[in-house]
Structure 1
Amino acid sequence: MELMKYEGEWYVWTLVITTILFVLIMPKKNLTWVGIFITIVFSSGFSWISDSIAGSLIDLFDLAKKQTIEPGDAMLISFVPASIATIYVNFYKPHKKWIFAFVFTLLCFVLELGLVKSGYMVNNDWNTWYGIPVYFTLFRFFFPWYLQLLSKNLSNN
């Protein structure tokens, strides 16, 4: 297994390490360690499914300019979206739902744009800005609902 053999892989590992470290040291607001674990596992699974459909089945993009999964791809898909989702759910405040949705949508857009600009992600039938409505829907509607659901389930136990 050879690391750093693809263009832009430094960017991927920077994202992976930074987001994981942030989740580990962030103050716990809405989530406990159990909530963090559940959110990471759920979001990671969701990320693998959606990226597999978009990247492999529909072939909208390639990571590391290959049709195979490399170590950097696996870490990127497993931890970066899951960490961002966990950070969002942990700090989310219902009275600032629009601000949170816009800020995290912009963050995800910029991080995806970084993947493209660094050369690690190559868009086929995809433009980076296509992700904006997807991110916004997740952050404005799905993750607030997810936090309510998670809070109910954790408080009933």
Structure 2
Amino acid sequence: MEFMKYEGEWYVWALVAISILFVLLMPKKNLTWVGIFITFVFSAGLTWTFDTMSMSTFNLFDLAKKISIELSDAFLIGFVPASIATIFVNFYNRKKAWMFALVFTLLCFILEFGLVQFGYMKNNSWNTWYGIPVYFIIFKFFFPWFYELTFKTMNKNTNEGEFI
């Protein structure tokens, strides 16, 4: 197995390392380690499901090598979006919901744009800017709902900001 054999692979490994380190070292606001685990695993599963459909069923984009899933693809799909979702849920504040949605939408767009610019991701029937409304819906509606459903209702007797 060759390491760093694809164009832009260094960018993927940098994203993976930074996102994992950030999740491990971030101050725990809304989540404890159990909440981080739940959010991370749930988000990783969703990402695998939707990215697999996008790549194989609809052929919207290719990562590194079209024929197979490479180790860097697996780490990119499995860790980076799940880390971003976990960071979002951990720091989410209902009073600043619009700001959170806009900042995280912009962050995801920039990271995806970097994948394309560094040559790791090739768009087929997709343009990078198509992700903006998708990211916005995820961060404005889906993850706030997930946070409220999963963590606010699990333990109603805790103080604000002290959830699983």
The alignment's TM-score, normalised by the length of structure 2, stands at: 0.93
- Distance of 2:45 and 2:5 partners within structure 1: 26
Query: Equivalents in 1 of 2:73, 2:141: separation in Å?
Result: 27
Aligned length: 157
Write the letter of the residue equivalent to 1:95. Answer: K
Residue 89 of structure 1 is matched in structure 2 by 89
Residue 32 in structure 1 maps to residue 19 in structure 2: no
Residue number in structure 2 paired with 1:56: 56
Which structure has greater helix proportion?
Answer: 1
Partner of residue 117, structure 1: 117
Offset, 1:153: 4.9
Give the residue type in structure 1 aligned to 2:14.
T
Residue 118 of structure 1 deviates from its aligned partner by 0.4
Aligned to 1:141: 141
* 1:144 aligned partner, one-letter code: P
CA deviations over 1:2-26 (Å, ceiling 9, x no partner): 2201000000000000000000000
User: Percent of counterpart pairs with the same letter?
Assistant: 68
1:113 deviates by 0.2
Distance, in Å, in 1 between the alignment partners of 2:116 and 2:29 is: 33
Q: What amino acid sits opposite 1:130 in the alignment?
A: Y
User: Residues 22-68 of structure 1: CA distance to partner in whole angstroms, max 9, x if unpaired?
Assistant: 00000000011000000010000000000000011100000003231
SS class of match (1:109): helix
State the alpha-carbon separation in 1 of the partners of residues 130 and 85 from structure 2.
Answer: 19
Which amino acid counterpart does residue 85 of structure 1 have in structure 2?
A
Cross-structure match for 1:2? 2
Q: Structure 1: which amino acid aligns with 2:24?
A: L
- The two structures have a TM-score, normalised by structure 1, of 0.97
CA RMSD of aligned residues (A): 1.2
Q: Which runs of 5+ in 1 are unaligned?
A: none
Q: How far off is 1:154 after superposition? A: 3.5
Q: Is it true that 1:77 corresponds to 2:81 in the alignment?
A: no
Alpha carbons 1:7, 1:120 under 8 Å: kept: yes
Moved over 4 A (4+): none
Q: Output the CA distance in 1 between the equivalents of 2:152 and 2:135.
A: 24
CA contact (8 A) 1:23 1:87 kept: yes
SS in 2 for 1:62: strand
Q: Which residue of 1 aligns with 2:159?
A: none
User: Does the 8 Å CA contact 1:109/1:129 hold for their aligned counterparts?
Assistant: yes
- Give the residue type in structure 2 aligned to 1:24: L
Give the structure 2 partner of residue 155 of structure 1.
155
Structure 2: runs of 5 or more not aligned: 157-163
- Output the CA distance in 2 between the equivalents of 1:3 and 1:51: 23
